[in-house]
Amino acid sequence: MEMEALVQKITEEVLKQLREGQRERQTSEELQFTKKAWVLFSREQANQQYITYLEEMGIACVFLEECTEDEIKQMDYIILPILPLSSLAHIAMGIEGDAISKKVIRGLLHGKEVFVLSDGMEHRSFEKSSQPYFYQMYADYEKKLQDFGVKIGTLEEILSPSQQQPQQPISPIKQEKTTEETSIDNKVITEKILKEMDCHPNSRLCIRQKAIITPMAKDYIRMKKIQVIRV
């Protein structure tokens, strides 16, 4: 009787493993029909939270070392968790200078959507310490990437349904003569300065003709819908 019980237990365990294996194969097959994102980062170093979010959005992740140049055509998105200074400069100038820039440039040439996580834009960490005109060079590179169609933000912002749908044109709002107007004489306009000034939404901000507006300050201006006037 003990032998029969042991055989029964082994049989049940084998059947359980077979069912689990079948479910895993079904899940793998289903992934072939979801969208695919090439994450330009190694699987070992990737943020598990990002992977989970993408999978919940129905996007299968393929990592840096798991995709060849020929397979780029099969990808729907290219995602950069980190964009180093050198890669930013190379992409902006269309030069395949390193592994990251080469893959992004190839992706753009194949018409793929490219996303960069804003927290991974290395040059932004030097906004407060860098010489302003030198920093502006990298800010201009960032603007070039956006002109190329590269989206910069958090995964939630980039992949939200509202961003995936074409936006309806917004009717212009007539400005009243009583619109608040503020002037600032700084050579470099940062987000911190604007927050300290406490500019109200839909107000006007008068700045120097050649004043530099940092990327984070531009985001703040766009969010507050501030009208910038160079004088």
In the predicted structure, residue 217 carries a pLDDT above the cut 90 = no
In the predicted structure, residue 183 carries a pLDDT above the cut 80 = yes
The closest of 106, 117, 33 to 71, measured between CA atoms, is: 106
Query: Residue holding tokens 């030069």?
Result: 95
Does pTM surpass 0.75?
no
pLDDT band for position 63 (50/70/90)? confident
Q: Radius of gyration over alpha carbons of the chain, in Å?
A: 25
* DSSP-based helix, strand, coil % in the chain, nearest 5: 50, 15, 30
pLDDT band for position 161 (50/70/90)? low
pLDDT band for position 145 (50/70/90)? very high
Is the model more confident about 29 or about 178? 178
Lowest mean pLDDT among 21-35, 44-58, 206-220: 21-35
Helix (H, G, I), strand (E, B), or coil: what is residue 138? helix
The closest of 83, 221, 86, 100 to 152, measured between CA atoms, is: 83
What's the pLDDT score for residue 19?
Answer: 58
Is the model more confident about 22 or about 66? 66
> Mean per-residue pLDDT for 84-102?
94
Q: Are 82 and 122 in contact (CB under 8 A)?
A: yes
pLDDT band for position 166 (50/70/90)? very low
Lowest mean pLDDT among 58-67, 149-158, 172-181: 172-181
